[in-house]
Amino acid sequence: MPELPEVETIRLGLEEHIVGKKIVSVEVRLKKIISGDIAKITGAKFKKIRRFGKALSLDLDNNYSIAIHVKMTGQLIWESDEIKVSRVSKVLVGELPNKFTHVIFKLKNQNLKGKTENSFLFYNDIRQFGWIKILSTSDVEKLPFVSELGPEPSVGDRVRDRVRDRETLTLKKFQQILKNKSTKIKVLLMDQKRIGGVGNIYANDALFLAGIDPRRQAKSLSTNETRRLYQSIEEVLKQGLKYGGSSEFTYVNALGETGEYQKHFLVYGFYKKPCSRCGGKVLTIKLGGRGTFFCPHCQN
DNA sequence: CGGAGTGCCTGACGGC
DNA sequence: TGCCGTCAGGCACTCC
């Protein structure tokens, strides 16, 4: 499920492949996925791709933007008509378009020789939880999801120009967020209004790396534990980004390729696997309605 | 304020 | 083989 590293990986791919290309037309196959006026974006060129937590904003050169949240199973895949060597995962995507393709953006650009090239940006979504909103660029940050988004952990220099100081999760802010909160620490980590970009996979792994029991109340963490968890969050997100995200389910990058972080999970998804640190039994429980994995021996 | 429940949706999976 | 019930899960929303 796409979280900060996955969405950032998609962003980097889109930045490389669609910026400068013009939207020729938009085909909507499932109306409820998309809102706003398609006419506003037809003919405009992609200028910049921004990320806000797990959401993206595809900014155009006419002061309009396409805001997208892929939620659980959304895929944004760019495919050129000219380059026939497709890297699209046969297992996680298959043919394009397919029955889960709900919106198709047809793109056009001139190559270096002045020849016209055609390409497509497909939005696929099995569970149809995701959304696409066409709105003026100045309204993107007014979307509730964006305006209420908590500060984001830093994942290194590769990551875009978007982060302003008030949006970066510093240790000091993290301490402030945990202070006096009786919420369970894992539930808090995943609350987008408090911390932006962390979802179930990385919350599980960060708590494992920090050796903290996910059931603990946020306010019960000591200064040292808080610092350890803060560093662990950055560490697992960086690992996720390094491996191009996690494709344990339907996630693929902007070229339809799978990520590899699922091969490096620390504790997430360890249904029958022993703890990677002590060999003991990994417990599966529910917290905040979501599957939670932890080692009761290594996480206290 | 926290916590629990519901809805959205479909593929996977277990039971028979 | 296939039908049926259950479940996962990001986020919004309601209710207590």
Q: Which nucleotide is nearest to A128 (CA to C1')?
A: B9
Q: Answer for A218: CB within 7 Å of strand C.
A: no
Distances (CA, A) of A232 to A12, A164, A171, A194, A259: 23, 22, 12, 17, 21
Residue A20's pLDDT band (cuts 50, 70, 90): very high
Count CB atoms within 10 A of the CB of residue A98.
10
Strands A34-35 and A131-136: parallel
* Mean confidence (pLDDT) of chain A: 93
Residue A298's pLDDT band (cuts 50, 70, 90): very high
Distance A18 CA to C6 C1' (A): 41
What amino acid occupies position A4? L
Please, which positions of strand C sit below 7 A from a protein CB?
8-13
What is the structure's pLDDT at A136?
97
Domain boundaries, chain A: 1-266
What is the structure's pLDDT at A161?
46
Q: Measuring CA to CA, which residue among A263, A77, A51 is closest to residue A158?
A: A51
Which two three-digit tokens encode residue A38?
Answer: 């398609």
Q: Answer for A290: CB within 7 Å of strand C.
A: yes
Which residue's alpha carbon is at the shortest distance from the C1' of C10? A71
CB A4 within 8 A of CB A80: no
What's the pTM value of the predicted model, to 2 decimals? 0.95
What is the structure's pLDDT at A91?
79
Q: Answer for A1: CB within 7 Å of strand C.
A: yes
**pLDDT tens digits along A142-171:** 999 999 999 999 987 555 445 455 589 999
Q: Answer for A69: CB within 7 Å of strand C.
A: yes
Q: Return the bridge partners of A75, or none.
A: A124
Which residue's alpha carbon is at the shortest distance from the C1' of B10? A127
Q: Which residues contact A144 (CB under 8 A, 6 or more apart)?
A: none
Greater model confidence, A214 or A1: A214
Q: Answer for A291: CB within 7 Å of strand C.
A: yes
Residue A83's pLDDT band (cuts 50, 70, 90): low
**pLDDT tens digits along A238-247:** 999 999 999 9
Q: Which CATH architecture has domain A1-266?
A: Alpha-Beta Barrel (3.20)
Distance A166 CA to B12 C1' (A): 42
Residue A90's pLDDT band (cuts 50, 70, 90): confident
With a cut of 80, say whether residue A107 has pLDDT above it. Answer: yes
Residues of A involved in catalysis: 2-3, 54, 290
